[in-house]
Chain A
C-alpha cells in the first residue's frame, strides 16, 4: 500500500537558518513525488515535483528536494528560511491517478 510519512509534526527554525523537512514514502513502483505548501485557510500550492531524471529537483521560492531511492526519501530543503515560509508542508506520492499525502509538517519561523 502507498503511504507517506512525515515524522515531524512541527519544526521551528530561526529566520535565515537552513531548513530540512523529512519525507519517507512507500510505493510499489517508481513514484511521482510532490511537495505542496498550504498557508492557513488556503489551498495547496505546488513547490516542486519529481518524476524521473536528476534526483535533485529545484522548486519555487528557493526550495529544493532530493530523491533518494535507497532511503525511500524525498526531503525538502531551503538554505535560508524567510518569515513568509511559515506554513504547513505536505509531501505526497502518487501515480497517475491518486495522490497520497503525508500528515504534514507545520513550519514556524522565529525572528
Chain B
C-alpha cells in the first residue's frame, strides 16, 4: 500500500519551454501533496504544499509563477515548470499524505534537464 507514482521519470527540454510533472497516489487518497527539489548530493528542499481543492502554499524563495502546482483531485497533483531555464535542472520529488496520517510517501522522482 501507499504507492506514489511520478511521470515522467526523465525529461529533457529546451530553454524557454514548459514542463509538466504528474504525481499520483495509486492506492490512497492524498489530501495533501508536497513537492521537493533535490540538487546533486544534497538534501530535499520543500518547494510547496498543496491541499486538494485549494491553492498551494509555497516556501520562501520559491517563485509561484514559475512553479505552478495544481492539486485538482485526491489522487493527482501536477507541477508545471514554466519557461524553464538550465538552472531549473534538478531532481523533483513529490510526496503524498492521506487525511489524518502523519507519514509522507514519496514518488520515485523526475529528473529534469533543461538545455
A residues contacting B by CB (< 8 A) are: 32, 34, 36, 41-46, 49, 51, 90, 94, 96-99, 101-104
CB distance from A16 to the nearest CB of B (A): 27
Docked pose: A101 CA to B95 CA in angstroms:
13
CB distance from A38 to the nearest CB of B (A): 9
Q: Are B106 and A97 interface neighbours, CB within 8 A?
A: no
Given A43-B93, A44-B106, A45-B106, also A90-B44 (CB < 8 A):
yes
Q: Are B43 and A41 interface neighbours, CB within 8 A?
A: no
Docked pose: A24 CA to B43 CA in angstroms:
15
User: How many A-B pairs fall under 8 Å by CB?
Assistant: 45
Q: Are B93 and A98 interface neighbours, CB within 8 A?
A: no
CB nearest neighbor in A for B4:
A43
Which 3 interchain pairs have the tightest Cβ spacing? Answer: A44-B106, A43-B108, A43-B106
CB distance from A15 to the nearest CB of B (A): 24
Q: Are A103 and B32 interface neighbours, CB within 8 A?
A: no
Q: Are A41 and B102 interface neighbours, CB within 8 A?
A: no
Q: Are A103 and B42 interface neighbours, CB within 8 A?
A: yes
Interface check B103, CB cutoff 8 A: yes
Q: Are B103 and A34 interface neighbours, CB within 8 A?
A: yes
Contacts of B42 in A (CB 8 A): 103-104
Q: Are B43 and A101 interface neighbours, CB within 8 A?
A: yes
Contacts of B4 in A (CB 8 A): 43
Interface check B25, CB cutoff 8 A: no
CB nearest neighbor in B for A4:
B43
CB distance from A47 to the nearest CB of B (A): 12
